[in-house]
Every structure is written in C-alpha cells, then in structure tokens.
Structure 1
Amino acid sequence: MNSHAPLNSPVSGPRRNVVVIGGGIAGLASAALLAEEGHAVTVLEKQAATGGRAGLWESDGFRFDTGPSWYLMPEVIDHFFRLLGTSAADHLDLVKLDPGYRVYSEGHTEPINVPAERADVVKLFNDIEPGAGEALEKYLDSAGDTYTMATRRFLYTTFQSFLPLLRPDVLSRVPKLVRLLLQPLSSLAAATVTDNRLRQILGYPAVFLGTSPFEAPSMYHLMSHLDLDDGVLYPMGGFTRLTEAIGSQARSRNVEVITGARVDQILTLPGDGRSQKARVTGVRWVSADGTEHTTPADTVVAANDLHHAETQLLQPADQTYPEKYWSRRTAGPSALLLYLGVKGGLPELEHHTLLFTADWEDNFSRIFGKITSVPTPASLYVCRPSATDPGVAPEGHENVFVLVPLPADPGLGAGGIDGAGDRRIENLADTVIDQISKWANIPDLADRIVVRRTYGPQDFVGDFNAWQGTSLGPAHVLKQSAFFRGRNKSRKVEGLYYAGSSTIPGIGIPMCLISAELLIKRLRSDTSTGPLAQPLVTPGAGAAAGSVVGAAAGSVVDKGKVRQ
C-alpha cells in the first residue's frame, strides 16, 4: 500500500485550497488525486459516512452493499490506484464469477446461466439458437474494437479541444461510429440474434447506463465486451472495500474528510459582467449539530448531484446548467431497492440473477415514456453476494439485494425498515418478492425473510439530492453522451469544477474514477485523449501525460490479480 505524504511541489500550477462537495466514489477519488498533486483538500459529505450510493448498511449480522454490485472494467479501477503508486490487487481480493450471471425469462421454466468465458458463451448462444454463436463472435469483436476506441479517445478526454480526436484511428472509423450513434442498441441486438432471451442478454447493459436498449445508441454494445468477453468480478467483503480503499488513499495524503456536513452555498465573488467571470471563494455548510461554517477555497469540486449543485448552491447568474437546461434533459431511472436477510439457502439464485419480462419494450416504455407507470411484472435484478462471500451474512442465511428500475418520480415514495416505508413502496416490494418466488421457484421466500429494508425514489432525493429521484444520473441517450454530456468545468465561475455521474464521462464506478482523472487534466490544461501516465508525475519530468492503453488488448493496464 502506498502511504507516502503528498508531493511537496504541486504539478498543476500553484498549490490550491480545494473543497470537494460529496464523499462518494467520485469525491473521494478526486480528493486523493488532488492531494497527490500537492493541493490542500477538504471533503464535505452530507451523510454520516462516506461512500455515497456505494455505501454500507448493516443489520443483525448482514452486511449490505447499498448500491453498485457489478465489478466491471477492472483495468480502469486498477489504473486509478496505479496513478497513486499502488494497485487494486494491493487492496482488493477479486474473484471471477462463473457463471457470470443467471437469467430467468418470462414464459420459460428453465433459467440461462451465462458462463464466464467467451468460448462458453458462444457455445451457449449456439445451443439456444443455431448460428447465433458465429453472430455473437462478430458482435463481440465489434464490441471489443469499440471499447478500445472509447478508452483511447473518448472516455479520458475533457473535450476541451476536438483536435486530439482527429487521429487516423478515429477518422477511419467515422462511418461505423456514426452508424453506432444513430442506431439503437435494441436494433443491433435484433439484427444479431432472433431469440428474445439472447436479444435481452445483449441489450440489458443499457440499464447500467441509466437508459433503455430502445434509446441507448448501439455504440454501447461495447458493454457486452465487459461481461461476455472479460467476465464479471466481485471484491470479497463487498464494494465497501473499494470505497474504503479509495478513502484510505485520500486520508493518507492528508485530505480532511468531514461527514455530517451539508453544503448550503458555493460562495463566489462576482465578475464584471463582461469578460471577467465570477470566482469561487469558498463554501458555506452546516455541521451535524446545526452549526454554520464557512470554508475558504480557491477551487471547489462539486462531486455531488450536478442539478442540485447548480440550481440550489449557486446564484442564478453563476449557473452554467440552470433549470432551463434540465427541463430538456432525460433522467436515468429511479429504483426500488430491497435489502433482504433470508434464512436458509437460495441455490435458485446465482450471485447475479436477472429476471426479464417477455414484453421488454412495454416494460421500458413505462419507465422512460412520456406517460410513466410502474411495470408489473417488472424486469429486475437480484444480487446474492452470500453465494460467493460468506462474510456478508450470518451462517445459515443469505444476503439478497434487489433492484427494480422505476420511473424517475419521487412521488412514488420512500422506503423503510421492516415495512415502515410508504405504503405504495412496501406493496410494490411485496409484489416483487412474490414475483421472484414464483419465477425462481422459491415458494417460501417471503416466510424466510428475517431482515427487510426498502428504499424508494424519494430516498434518493433525501439522501443524495438526486435530480428527479434518479438512482444513477442523467441517462446515456445520444444527446447526453460523450461531448453532449455536461462538461466538468463551470463556464460562469472560475475555480468551479464537476465530477461524478452527472458529468463526463458518465454513470458507474469506473466512470466516476475517470471523472476524477479528468479533473486533474482540466487543472493541467491537458487535452490528451488517453489515460494519464502512472503514477502521477509532473508532465515533462521523465514521463509525459498521455495514453497508456495497450494497443493489442485495448486495456488501460493489466487487470491485476484475480482469483478464478
């Protein structure tokens, strides 16, 4: 583990006094990299503990990850740690899941187990639909090529300048890229295979991006490279281990992390109304005991919900993204989350299990359509980490996490413990438990639940100030992807930057880690398109910032140590 003090001489210009708003993955990662660059950093987190959506809830011997549960893009996560002179393997015990996940499809009695290795997945597709394996090979080759292009040119760029994108490898792919941007993911999946279950396996990753396969650009078929080519990993001890490791990296570099700190205002000094911008001077916040504080800063990083930061923490004249901007944006889905402690075994569920309705288009239109409603039955996701990790549940019990995508509507209500949530949320939870019981053939599931907590759209607002109660952030539809997504620097206020899922490059733990790296690029005025050289070094002092993407594998770095 790297525990050295911050560099004595900064590499991003003058030493800055930085306040980071939000102690989730993006906030902690930003703080760690900023401190490594030599800046003085304070993190203000509203909740009593850091982690944000990637938090921890414990009850009666059960340890529940409260949010992210799919460990994808391991090379991106490892690269982040290597920027700090360490590695993912130094902090995490990663296990490769086999099968990667199980799928129950409405109208079919037998589930599909999706294997960990590509050759086995190809065989599975051929067994279900003769000839589908060959089509999948071409699909995955294209997905891998697109993923390599994304990591080389699009994920690690601030889009400050488009000139670095005018490279032969990009220009030669323009016709393909245009086609992938304009064609929905669902159409590409339908052109690849005919069996509805296989189409759903290729299309479901759109939900990771906060959107529907009928709305996501087929550019995102690159997601199938992650689960069907690379496989799905799990960090033993849960995703809290990742959050703790990132937080440890920040604290070891003298980052001050203050929890129970609700930021009420980003303080600015007005500009002249013409050429001179307003400038950040600090933040005003309230501690858990109700005391008001002012912390001076010449740099503020809003790593919290961008809508809240812009429309609630800034004066109208200082807002780059005012309410009018958000009225034209598309929110990702909200969710019903269930945390269930279950007595006895649940072999009917894998570590990851997906339940897909037959009429998928109707399911998604209810969530993302102009007129929304709660799908019944719903396509949903079940995680049973106790299938892999005995430490997350008492002996003889199972740990079960359920995610049901819902419309982004806080009016659907909030959850609670042991049935204490809003009636509509609790009734929906009962319906979902019954659905899992019937589809997976676990008739006594409800009777065996000994711990129960529900979490609804209003909770995302209350805990994270989430725009429209979204569980993820702005959806990755075309107009909100790549350079169409919110940038990571204010146009109105000098010294104000953004990180996290609301801004580039987007949703998910790897994207939040990249957003922290893009913050460093902004401060360095680095317009390169690839990851920074690792570990972080002063540009020109022995190693230049730039891409370290492997030309053949398309990975940022080696994936590190993984238990098979």
Structure 2
Amino acid sequence: MTRTVVIGGGIAGLATAALLAHEGHEVQLLEQRDHVGGRAGSLERDGFRFDTGPSWYLMPGVFDHFFKLLGTSAAEQLDLRTLSPAYRVFSEPGHDGVTPDPLTVPLGSEQVLDTFERVEPGSAKELSAYLASARHTTDMAERFFLYNPFTRLQELLHPEVLRNLPRLAQLLLTPLDKYVSQRFQHPVLRQVLGYPAVFLGTNPSAAPAMYHLMSALDLGDGVQYPMGGFRELVERLEALATDAGVRIHTGAEALKITTREATRTKKVGRFDGLKLPTPFTGKDSREVTGVKWRDNSGAEHYSVADQVVSGADLHHTETQLLGVRDRSYDRKYWQSRTSGPGAVLVMLGVKGTLPQMPHHSLFFTRDWEANFASIFGEETRIPDPASIYVCKPSATDPGVAPQGHENLFVLVPVPADPTLGAGGPDGTGDALIEQAADAAIDQIAQWAGVPDLHERIVVRHTIGPADFARDYNSWRGGMLGPAHTLRQSAMFRAQNASKRVRGLYYAGATTAPGVGVPMCLISAELVLKRIRGDHSPGPTTVRPVASRIG
C-alpha cells in the first residue's frame, strides 16, 4: 500500500484522507488541535452548541457526489432540512431614523420572482433570465472548471467551452457589481445579488460576474441545514475516514515535510495556471519522504511517506513546513496575492425567543462601497456600521440551545489583520474585537427591533483574526483564504500539486478550486485525480471501493 500522510484535520484533510484510504492507501492524518474540523469548529457552553465556522449548506450536489465516492450518500449521512424562508435582509435605518421593512427571501424560485417583482416592478423577468444564466454557468463550472485539475491544456478546449467562450469571457471580465447594476435598480436587490461575493472572500467590485452562479444556489435551489450543525458533517467525515482505515492523530503538530533528490527521472508534465508543461527531471526533481511532527507531550515523531497531502493553510505549508528549495511559491508571489476578509465572530446564547429573525439573516449598510473599502481598501479598519451575517440555528434545530433560549452566530467581516486582536469568553477578548461585537449586537437590536437584546444575553464568546492566525495558521489572519478575484480563480489559483516536489499535494480553501465547504470537498477529489493521473475536467466517475490489506 502507498503510505500517505495528510496534514490537517479540517474538512479538506478529512475528505482527502477518506478518499485515499478507500483507494487503498495506508493513511495517517495529523491534526495539531485536540479535535478535528479545522475552521468548521464548534463550541459548547452552558447547554448551547455553536458552529464556529460554516453555516450555509449550499451546492448539495457536490456533497452527494462526494459521499457517493465513499459508497454512501448525503441522505444516509446527514439529516438535511430545507429552510423556509431562505433568509431575511435587514437594512440600515434612513437618515430620518426610520428602519425599512425587512426583505424576506422565500423558498422556491417562483416565490422569489414574486418577491423581486413586488420590490421592483419589472424585475421578475430580469431575475428569471439572471437565474437561467446562473444555472447554465453553474453547470459549465462543474463540468469544466471546478473539478478540473488543469493538467492538460486540451481539457479546456472542449467544443462546448469554445462555443461559450464569448459569454464566458464577458462573465470573467465584468465585475459582479456592475453585472448586477446593469440589470436591477433597487439597492437592496442589488445587495442580495452582490453579497455572495463575501462568501467567496472578496468585494463585489472585484469578483468576476462568473460568480453570479451563486444566486442559482440560494435563490433557485434554496438553502439547507444539516441537523446537528456542521459539527455533524465533521463527525460523519471523521467516522467515514476511520472506517476506511485512516489513523487520526490529534494533538499532532506537523513540523517539517522532508524531501530528497528524486531517485528516478520519470517525467510528470503539468499544466498549471496557463503555463507550459514543466516536467520533473533529473537534478531539478525532488520527492517527498515523510513528515516530522510533535505530539502534545512534546515528543517528536517521524512518519515515512510515499505521498504527503497538506490540508493546512498553503502559506504556512510553503513557508514553515518546506525548505526554501522545495517551495513552489516565493515571497513575491505572496506579496502579490489578495487575502479574503478576516472576521469577528460572536456566539451568543439569548434568553427567550427572537421571532424577528429566521435561521439566516443579513444586515446591509446603506453605504455599500464604504463598507467594502474599510475591509479591502488601502487604509483598512473595522467597518462601522458593518454589513453582517447572523445565523439562528435554534430556529430549526432545538438541540443547539436550552429550551426557551436562542442560539446566535454573528459574523462581522473585517480586514484580514491579526493585529486587530483575539476574542474570548464573556467580553474578555481584545478591545477592538469586543467593541466590534458590542456594535454588532447594538446593530441587530436596532435594525431587527429587539431593544432588550443586550440584557437577554446569557452566553457570549468572540473570535478574532488573531485566533484564526494562531489556531489555523491562517495567512494574514483571514477567515477564508485568498479572495476569489479573477487572477485567483480556477486555473489561476494555486493548484493541488507541488511544482517542486513529487508526491506532495495540497488541499483546502487556500488552493483550487477555492473557499467554502463544497470547494474543500472538491479539492480532496482533485488530489485524488492528481494521484490517479486522471486529467478529466468533470466530477470523478464512481469506482468500486478498493479492498484494503491488513
């Protein structure tokens, strides 16, 4: 069996380990924290159970395809509920102090069309065309780009891609905010269609209009929730990996990926980022040999490996775990990259009910441009007020809060900057983080009409950019990874195999295809494709499970 070490027990690490173990590899997984899950973490306090990371279950087809690769299905592994309404949008009060009525986005495309038409007469027809384009773009993306390892140029020259090239070029070269504003006039509708860029780690003015495909997911397909939260997804991935034979070591900090000069000169061509194939040959070729790691007692270990997959942050892998000679990306590369936003996360346990808010809520500021300039501009700061996201899973899942209480997860996008500080329990975090949390609570209280919200909070815990940097070795303290700008998407994003070291692969949100749980699952599949030598651009054909030895 091929000896494989996976670094990092986040979604991508667990998914990759499970796939490779099913393929017949002997797999060890090293996770530096005392539990797996990575950014898809959880926090339990006083009867509340908070997801501290992902909370939107989108692209259900990606989940089901991934589980089928493991011989199961999403329906078998998760108890999924479709949310109705999908979410609600609260807008900033006007200069006269009057708070606009919230916009509720219903479940079902016909109901969504009716909602848009009521807000902006004539917009239903435009939205219908917009969503049709989004569905077509989603189909193209899944068949030709998201699952594409970009190892062969000819895979991008498919007749259907060539036929759609003018349209694809327009979508790639037009900013999302401009694409939306050309079709819709009402500011809130524009925000509903532009805000998915934040979930891609970027500004609507910097995201290619290609990403209007996101609207097909929440406005067309609806939004789902796995009962038990995303912790349940982590537990199912861990169980599937373990059942496949993966040995999981928690409290295991990877120290160094070891390499040597290759003992064979086999050429391994690649097509990454529109560069000509550059084979590993002779003295220029290195190959992986293993991983040095330290357990939580301080003892050091060495795991011999034929292959290593790092699901850790790519910047950390390249700059801390690899020697200079083995790095695919130099300092100049990182200086030219754009990070996604950082975040202040606020977990709140609230006494009583909050009927004003459904499972998902968005709070949008009037000055959209100023909000994003604060996060991504030359002189960054924590936005005030901020456009924030609030999840109330207790609207759907009674198990996440004690009876008679609500569970709130508040996400405030901020600059990716660890110097902003760290969070903590009950107001003990750094000053800027707690100030941002207080401002967000005040904002929710005023805009959603919950004047006594502060007084009803019984549990409070915050997380800041410094926590992301410390706990996840996150580049610049970002919550997601490199932003999905044009030059950091698809074949232009860092790919899933080292350019310098044979047998070294990368998975996770900081590599292709990008950020978000579905993308992390796809990244695991891209590693599998690389190892198999599968150059196909679409989802992997499901194969019979390999039998394991011993």
TM-score clears 0.5: yes
How far the C-alpha of 1:536 sits from its partner, in A, is 4.9
Q: Secondary structure at 2:309's aligned position in 1?
A: strand
CA distance in 1, matches of 2:158, 2:184: 33
Q: 2:71 aligned with 1:88, yes or no?
A: no
Q: 2:169 aligned with 1:178, yes or no?
A: yes
Aligned to 1:389: 397
Q: 2:501 aligned with 1:493, yes or no?
A: yes
CA RMSD of aligned residues (A): 1.1
Q: Secondary structure at 1:404's aligned position in 2?
A: strand
1:269-418 paired onto structure 2 within 5 Å: 269-270=260-261, 275-418=283-426
- 1:95/1:236 contact within 8 Å kept: yes
How far the C-alpha of 1:209 sits from its partner, in A, is 0.5
- 2:70/2:545 contact within 8 Å kept: no
Deviations 1:200-231 (A, max 9, x none): 00000001100011110000000000001100
Aligned to 2:478: 470
Deviations 1:321-361 (A, max 9, x none): 12221110000000000011000001111100000001111
- 1:92/1:235 contact within 8 Å kept: yes
Q: 2:435 aligned with 1:435, yes or no?
A: no
Q: 2:146 aligned with 1:155, yes or no?
A: yes
CA distance in 2, matches of 1:323, 1:380: 33
How far the C-alpha of 1:488 sits from its partner, in A, is 0.5
Aligned to 1:50: 36
How far the C-alpha of 1:537 sits from its partner, in A, is 6.1
CA distance in 1, matches of 2:77, 2:262: 45
Letter in 2 for 1:94: L
Match for residue 213 of structure 1 among 204, 207, 218: 204
Q: Secondary structure at 1:282's aligned position in 2?
A: strand
Q: 2:227 aligned with 1:236, yes or no?
A: yes
CA distance in 2, matches of 1:119, 1:332: 33
How far the C-alpha of 1:420 sits from its partner, in A, is 1.1
Match for residue 419 of structure 1 among 422, 427, 437: 427
Match for residue 169 of structure 1 among 155, 160, 170: 160
Aligned to 1:541: none
Letter in 1 for 2:128: E
How far the C-alpha of 1:84 sits from its partner, in A, is 0.8
Letter in 2 for 1:93: D
CA distance in 2, matches of 1:270, 1:459: 37
CA distance in 1, matches of 2:462, 2:510: 25
Letter in 2 for 1:403: L
How far the C-alpha of 1:275 sits from its partner, in A, is 4.0
How far the C-alpha of 1:100 sits from its partner, in A, is 0.2
CA distance in 2, matches of 1:517, 1:180: 26
Q: 2:539 aligned with 1:522, yes or no?
A: no
Letter in 1 for 2:391: C
Deviations 1:392-438 (A, max 9, x none): 00000000000000001000000000111111111111111111111
Letter in 2 for 1:90: E
Aligned to 1:125: 116
Match for residue 68 of structure 1 among 51, 54, 57: 54
Q: Secondary structure at 2:458's aligned position in 1?
A: strand
How far the C-alpha of 1:271 sits from its partner, in A, is 5.2
Q: 2:146 aligned with 1:138, yes or no?
A: no
Q: 2:189 aligned with 1:198, yes or no?
A: yes
Aligned to 1:224: 215
Q: Secondary structure at 2:238's aligned position in 1?
A: helix
- 1:84/1:535 contact within 8 Å kept: no
- 2:348/2:459 contact within 8 Å kept: yes
Aligned to 2:3: 17
Aligned to 2:461: 453
CA distance in 2, matches of 1:535, 1:200: 43
CA distance in 2, matches of 1:406, 1:397: 28
TM norm structure 1:
0.92
How far the C-alpha of 1:91 sits from its partner, in A, is 1.2
CA distance in 2, matches of 1:491, 1:435: 47
Q: Secondary structure at 2:411's aligned position in 1?
A: strand
CA distance in 2, matches of 1:412, 1:97: 35
CA distance in 2, matches of 1:350, 1:382: 9
How far the C-alpha of 1:165 sits from its partner, in A, is 2.0
- 2:22/2:545 contact within 8 Å kept: no
How far the C-alpha of 1:162 sits from its partner, in A, is 1.9
TM norm structure 2:
0.94
- 1:84/1:536 contact within 8 Å kept: no
Deviations 1:16-66 (A, max 9, x none): 101000000000000000000000000000111000011111000001011
Q: Secondary structure at 1:336's aligned position in 2?
A: strand
- 2:469/2:475 contact within 8 Å kept: yes
CA distance in 1, matches of 2:128, 2:231: 35
Aligned to 2:487: 479
Q: 2:78 aligned with 1:110, yes or no?
A: no
CA distance in 2, matches of 1:220, 1:187: 12
Percent of pairs identical after alignment? Answer: 58
CA distance in 1, matches of 2:439, 2:369: 21
How far the C-alpha of 1:535 sits from its partner, in A, is 4.2
Letter in 1 for 2:31: E
The change in CA–CA distance for 1:536 and 1:340 in structure 2 (over 3 A counts) is farther
Q: Secondary structure at 1:370's aligned position in 2?
A: coil
Aligned residues: 524
Match for residue 79 of structure 1 among 42, 65, 73: 65
- 1:333/1:471 contact within 8 Å kept: yes
- 1:82/1:535 contact within 8 Å kept: no
Q: Secondary structure at 2:211's aligned position in 1?
A: helix
The change in CA–CA distance for 1:535 and 1:446 in structure 2 (over 3 A counts) is farther
Aligned to 2:253: 262
Unaligned ranges ≥5, structure 2: 264-280
Q: Secondary structure at 2:195's aligned position in 1?
A: helix
How far the C-alpha of 1:380 sits from its partner, in A, is 0.3
